[in-house]
Structure 1
Amino acid sequence: MENFRRMALFAQVVQHGSMSAAARALGMSTSAVSQQLRTLEREAGVALLHRSTRRLALTDVGSRYYTACVRLLDAAGEAEAELSAARHAPSGELRLSAPLGMADHIGPALGGWLRDNPQLRLYLHFEDGWTDLVQARIDLALRFGRLPDSDWMAQRLGVLQRWPCAAPEWLQRHGAPSDPLQVPASDWLGLAQVPGLAWRHRVSGQERQVPAHPRIVSHNQPAVRQLCESGLGVAVLTCLDVIPLLADGRLVRLLPEWALPPLPVWAVTPHRQTQPAKVRQAIELLGDHLAQMPDAADTCG
């Protein structure tokens, strides 16, 4: 690294034509510049400059060395420009990990941005588990719920409301419950601990702890939603999952008088340092998209 600094200093001396001019450009004293050049020549074992009281001139080896120094400095300048561009404009490949339930939302959230930035590439990794971001070379991961302890950086994007839903077929068999305890414990779909969350009545503030022994358990929310559509039970789904299904009647929202704790949504990145523009802008766009999701009050009867 010290040799690289001396190479840059040598190039500055040649370009400015004198040590004093180079010293002024570099904010150094002329004696310090002279000392650095003598050290460079001593370590190289050759003279790079002919010195006189009036001018400097390159030796033959100094001329060749100067050409190599300029190429190296140009390459360093290009590298610095790449870093600067990455900080200020999205470029390269964005590697994004998200739950399967987000698959239908990446396009609406990021589509316009991708069209406006053709130099940007997107790699999508969908899963409902917990990926090692470093090993998978993930730039940005969307995660729902409680996060495990890690050294990664997490930024809260917002929350999603959770609604119990069932298919019309299930309602024909069981009727519409007015209390979450009226849902048979075996008819809950998905993860057992979701119905086990505290339910709160919106008016009275009364709380319920609802036991659940689901016959069908899955970590895959799209699969749970499809099973719910088939009339096999009641699933607690996010508004992100079910808004279109509620609109066309494939699912019915149950127990609107009861509220479940909302589901936090996080943007997780493997680095705590300054993020490149592609990551910062993607986080902002995904947060804006989630902010457009309705809260419980929008559809509560």
Structure 2
Amino acid sequence: MDQLKRMAIFAEVVAAGSLTAAARQLGMTPSAVSQHLRQLEQALGLALLHRSTRRLTLTEAGERYHAGCAAMVAAARSAEQALARLRDEPEGELRLAAPAGFGSVLATALAPLRGYPRLTLRLLLDDALIDLIGERVDIALRIGVLADSGLVARKLGSMARQLCASPAYLAERGWPAQPRDLLQHDWLGSKPANAGADMLELQGPAGERETLRLEGRVQASQVTALHALCVAGWGISLGVSDDDQKALADGRLLPVLPGWRLADLPVYAVTPRRGEQPAKVRHALDVLALYFGDAGDAGDAGGAAAAHTATAFHS
């Protein structure tokens, strides 16, 4: 390593044209610079510079050696500049994992990042668990209660939930008037295989609470499938995705028990590593927090499931 340092000093002396000027650039004394040059020449067994009272000139060996030393210094500076760009301005590939129903949400939320031409985006949209480290994921969105994890989580905001069904289903089966009426309806659930029934907690207009255990007529692991089933009239489901919100707005789905409220689902951004993040990750976290409406807090999710993201479109 000392030899590399002396090579860099030699390149700086040649570029500056004198020991004094090079010492000033390097923050060293002229005598220290001269000593490093002598040690370099001794190690090489060749003189690199002709020294006179007025000027320094390269020997033949110095001319040949200087080209490699200058290239080494240029490569080091180029590497520093590349890291500075990575630190200060988003560039490179941003890999973001999210549930399948988040495609249109992310297209809107991440729109401010379009202004960075050296940034590319890869979305991994899947309701199944994703190995964040194996897939080199920079940010994973988690919806709902966080499982124990060794990952770092930042709360971005919350998502509202609304029971909904298609007009055709409600015309055929009738409108539930109270939460317990849901037990007589077809429920579209989102529990994983062998995970049991969905537990639904609702708060009424007077603050009263009811908890229901709902067995699904249909269980689907993807919110896109649940949305399609609900619009097609298969039953009642929990609308949380962007597609559900659009369908509620245009009448393809109707709100069920609108006077009864479900707790909002928290939205977290989870990153697999601690410490300083590159600019692409910092900027993405900021625009996601702005979209979901919460400045959020950084925190440790704690525990053992360090390599997976969650689907969790249910509580």
Please report the TM-score for the alignment, with normalisation by the length of structure 2.
0.82
Question: Do 1:160 and 1:240's aligned partners in 2 also have CA atoms closer than 8 Å?
Answer: no
Question: Do 1:157 and 1:267's aligned partners in 2 also have CA atoms closer than 8 Å?
Answer: yes
Deviation of the 1:232 alpha carbon: 1.5
Deviation of the 1:158 alpha carbon: 0.8
User: Equivalents in 2 of 1:254, 1:175: separation in Å?
Assistant: 11
User: Equivalents in 1 of 2:254, 2:289: separation in Å?
Assistant: 27
- CA-to-partner distance for each residue in 1:56-77, whole Å, 9 max, x for gaps? 3322222221121112222222
Instruction: Give yes or no for the alignment of 1:191 onto 2:190.
Output: yes
Question: Do 1:185 and 1:214's aligned partners in 2 also have CA atoms closer than 8 Å?
Answer: no
Partner of 2:258 in structure 1?
256
User: Equivalents in 1 of 2:184, 2:9: separation in Å?
Assistant: 77
Identical-residue share of aligned pairs (%): 43
Q: Which amino acid aligns with 1:209?
A: T
Question: Do 2:226 and 2:237's aligned partners in 1 also have CA atoms closer than 8 Å?
Answer: yes
Q: Which amino acid aligns with 1:242?
A: D
Residue 230 of structure 2, aligned match among 228, 231, 252: 228
Partner of 1:159 in structure 2?
158
In the superposition, relative to structure 1, how do residues 223 and 37 fare at CA in structure 2: closer, same or farther (>3 Å)? same
Question: Do 2:201 and 2:212's aligned partners in 1 also have CA atoms closer than 8 Å?
Answer: yes
Q: Secondary structure at the match of 2:233?
A: coil
Q: Which amino acid aligns with 1:134?
A: I
- CA-to-partner distance for each residue in 1:211-263, whole Å, 9 max, x for gaps? 11112112201101111112212111216342210122111111222222211
Deviation of the 1:195 alpha carbon: 4.2
Question: Do 1:186 and 1:213's aligned partners in 2 also have CA atoms closer than 8 Å?
Answer: no
Describe how 1:1-301 pairs up with structure 2 within 5 A. Answer: 1-52=1-52, 54-111=54-111, 113-114=113-114, 116-184=115-183, 187-192=186-191, 195-201=198-204, 203-238=205-240, 240-291=242-293
Question: Do 2:93 and 2:119's aligned partners in 1 also have CA atoms closer than 8 Å?
Answer: yes
Q: Which has the higher contact order (CA 8 A, sep 6+)?
A: 2
User: Equivalents in 1 of 2:33, 2:127: separation in Å?
Assistant: 59
Moved more, 32-41 or 128-137: 32-41
User: Equivalents in 2 of 1:92, 1:84: separation in Å?
Assistant: 13
User: Equivalents in 2 of 1:209, 1:6: separation in Å?
Assistant: 74
In the superposition, relative to structure 1, how do residues 10 and 126 fare at CA in structure 2: closer, same or farther (>3 Å)? same
Q: Which amino acid aligns with 1:196?
A: M
User: Equivalents in 2 of 1:241, 1:177: separation in Å?
Assistant: 23
Deviation of the 1:161 alpha carbon: 0.8
Deviation of the 1:46 alpha carbon: 2.8
Partner of 2:299 in structure 1?
none
- Two-structure CA RMSD over aligned residues (Å): 2.5
Q: How many residues align?
A: 290
Please report the TM-score for the alignment, with normalisation by the length of structure 1.
0.86
Higher-helix-fraction structure = 1
User: Equivalents in 1 of 2:156, 2:77: separation in Å?
Assistant: 36
Question: Do 1:218 and 1:224's aligned partners in 2 also have CA atoms closer than 8 Å?
Answer: yes
Question: Do 1:186 and 1:214's aligned partners in 2 also have CA atoms closer than 8 Å?
Answer: no
Where structure 2 has 5 or more consecutive residues not aligned to the other structure, the ranges are 295-315
User: Equivalents in 2 of 1:250, 1:200: separation in Å?
Assistant: 25
In the superposition, relative to structure 1, how do residues 53 and 112 fare at CA in structure 2: closer, same or farther (>3 Å)? closer
In the superposition, relative to structure 1, how do residues 142 and 3 fare at CA in structure 2: closer, same or farther (>3 Å)? farther
